[in-house]
Chains A and B, each alone.
Chain A
Amino acid sequence: MTNQPTLVERLVSHDPRAFEELIRLYGARLLLKAEQMLGCRDEAKDCVQECYIQVHKNINNFRQEAEIYSWMYRILVNACLKKMRSRTAASMESLDELQPTFDEDGCRIEPLWQSLPTTEEILEQNGTREQVLSAIQSLPHGSRDILYLRDIEGHSTAEVAEMLSLSLSATKVRLHRARAALKKILEPVFIERRVS
């Protein structure tokens, strides 16, 4: 019995069908990751394409004992971060209208919550998951990217600042404003759930 060559071995030996197999094997996972990071299908597709081309060019340098998906994942994340850095630097967004408001005495003007629904209660309602995802996407890129890296991926604020080449203080201000804006956008979802 002869050992079948692995997918990586077939890629290294330029088997013409191996590359398409690699696309179909991991393409969807990589696309989802890129779309989550960038919040834009077209930019996500560009990064996935760039990732595959890097794999094609560098497959001979790939250490075969490692997991090829982990390698591809790192390439993809770096491509997405590069895109995030360029658009964050160019971003001059204002979220003023979505910030909390205060009266002349510095007292908060907020809707009162009778009881705040749990995350599970919010997301089990039809369509709310899409509403939440769409609210995240609706934030301007610079704010969305910081919020994504900090709150969804769970990096520290200092790591996010470094990843996006921003100062720590600017990152903190933008993170807080992005969270406050997202809360404001999601208020109807929370309130609807509470009333129903």
Chain B
Amino acid sequence: MVLSNKQQIKRWLHKLPLMIDCEEFEGFILQYLEDELPPLKRFVFETHMKMCRDCRDYLAAYQRTIETARTAVDQQELPEIPEDLVTAILEAQKASGEKDL
């Protein structure tokens, strides 16, 4: 496999002290978003993010996914209540009333 200069630099950078690779970055995402990373790990995480476009884009898309899911659910329209459900509840109510007698 022939690596571009950019890829070679990236691989070399990952091996420096206080640097992590993308796979390790992945393992810190949740803690980062929940604001649970201790200061040093947060620094390491943010340094990787500044230098790695792939991870920066990934995190942006990850966060956009959450926001889009929330908005799509919030915008759902109220359905009509199905008549079979109304009937089923009324029948269950009747049966429950008879059982209580």
Using CB atoms and an 8 Å cutoff, list the residues of chain A in contact with chain B: 19-20, 23-24, 27-29, 31-32, 35-36, 45, 48-49, 52-53, 56-57, 100, 102, 105-108, 110, 112-113, 116-119, 122-123, 129, 132-133, 135-136, 147-148, 151-152, 154, 157, 172, 175-176, 179-180, 182-183, 186-187, 190
Contacts and interface: CB of A to CB of B under 8 A. Distances in A.
A149 B84 CA distance: 29
Interface of B: 7, 10-11, 14, 21-26, 29-30, 34, 52-55, 57-58, 60-62, 64-76, 78-82, 85-86, 88-90, 92-93, 96-97, 100
Contacts of A118: 64
Given A49-B88, A53-B89, A136-B69, 4 more contacts: A31-B79, A49-B85, A100-B26, A107-B14
Nearest to A190: B61
A144 B66 CA distance: 12
Given A19-B93, A32-B79, A106-B23, A132 B85 contact: no
B69 A147 contact: yes
A190 B90 contact: no
B57 A176 contact: no
23 contacts: A20-B86, A28-B81, A32-B78, A102-B21, A107-B21, A107-B54, A108-B52, A108-B54, A110-B58, A112-B53, A116-B57, A117-B64, A119-B64, A123-B71, A132-B69, A135-B69, A151-B66, A152-B70, A152-B73, A154-B70, A182-B65, A183-B65, A187-B61
Give the dominant DSSP class at B's interface. Answer: helix
Contact of A23 (B58, B71, B86): B86
Nearest to A57: B96
Given A23-B81, A116-B61, A152 B69 contact: yes
